Structure 1
């Protein structure tokens, strides 16, 4: 399948970043495509098999053709970039919204409106996806979080933020995610995501909330991708 690896120098991060860009089989510069920006890009490719699923859904005409940008992350920098208290977090958000989006829009045929850009992530990748969408509401119109690693403090920040009514949010969490071990200690992600759902419902955004009978592992996230993509793009 078409998967192009590009190297992008980030002025915000002061690093060289690698992006893996999936284009649909029928890609043509004569058309404009929505774009999905994927955190933990290598995991979504290898463990989530997301590019293969996109090809299948496109061939079955279950979702429109789209471009997907897979953003790998050095695991040692994951907290620094993905958590709002991380020392690279603001720079990473700027990299996403300005440099990554700018590159993709210049080199591919994309829809120019924010509603055609979606952020996706699991666990802490869901957190950075959500907070990037909140910081750049005109750039990203949709965000999807699989088992977002939220806690009381992060939910409080969402509650205090002004959210655009045009934002579409997809949340899912496992009913067994009540004691997930993280670098911040043991988190009840089921309760935290239920609280996030309640906060978002007061903000006027378009919200889809799903649960699944499972825990904080890739087997469940991979199995739920088809449902998620239909909800976002179907």
Structure 2
């Protein structure tokens, strides 16, 4: 049913989201049920697949014997409005997305593929609002999902409050922000400053002793800035 070396389109009917969720499942070329695999879940899956070419980064590093086995799940959003409603840090509907991942998607993946079923073998990734939902997922369920790539997340007071009450002892974050992100236009046309809140959030992480890699990159809120990080991220979390 699922082909190796390809992004296999799939979908689940979600009770939590009250809609059908479309996603892609990438099984590496060498996939075999004889070995347990790490699981990478990406929000904004279309971007990570098409713009980031994450699975190609994985195959390159695995062929060089640099990283552990993993499968990649590309979670797609149906439209911009739904993405904002389900990903925004201050939206109550984000809890439905978190429950979809924990109660519906992850059990499906674990039942159908050979996976490592520990929090430190599950890596969630996101860019912008997708990074925010990745962060909220890890802060909410750190024993189930303890690793996250945060590409320029939107940080609000809600995120800071979640961090303040979270059990952060197992969390490991790879967190980057562009130096040009002090002022840029959102899809709504509004101006936004992502840089300053991210800097303050990093300071809070350090004060709490959270394991984190942090870097301020030359560039803005675009995949041109983010894409070169993907190989580094895979090495950071999956190196042998």
TM-score by length of 2: 0.92
Which residue pairs with 1:59 in the alignment? Answer: 63
Supply the distance in 2 between the matched residues of 1:32 and 1:100 (Cα, whole angstroms): 18
> Is the Cα contact below 8 Å between 1:165 and 1:203 reproduced in 2?
no
Aligned to 2:185: 181
Structure 1: state its 5+ residue gaps: none
Deviation readout 1:150-181 (Å, 9 max, x if unpaired): 24x24532443223311111100111111122
Distance of 1:154 and 1:213 partners within structure 2: 28
Whether 2:18 is the aligned partner of 1:14: answer yes
Cα offset for 1:87?
4.4
2:171 and 2:210 in contact (8 A); partners too: yes
* Counterparts of 2:97 and 2:127, CA distance in 1: 17
RMSD over equivalenced CA pairs, Å: 1.6
Q: Could you tell me how far 1:57 is from its partner in structure 2?
A: 1.4
Partners of 2:140 and 2:162 within 8 A in 1: no
Q: What do the CA deviations read for 1:108-154 (whole angstroms, capped 9, x no partner)?
A: 00001111001100011100000011111121010110111224x24
Cα distance change on mapping 1:141 and 1:159 into 2, 3 Å: closer
Structure 2 runs not aligned, ≥5 long: none
Q: Which runs of structure 1 show a deviation greater than 4 angstroms over 4 or more consecutive aligned residues? A: none
TM-score, normalization by structure 1: 0.94
Secondary structure of the corresponding residue to residue 11 of structure 2: strand
Q: CA deviation at 1:70?
A: 0.3
Counterpart-to-counterpart distance in 2, 1:221 and 1:107: 31
191, 199, 205: which one aligns with 2:204: 199
Local SS of the residue matching 1:32: coil
Secondary structure in 2 matching 1:52 = helix
- 1:86 and 1:203 mapped to 2: Cα distance? 25
Which residue number in structure 1 is paired with residue 132 of structure 2?
127
What is the aligned residue count?
A: 233
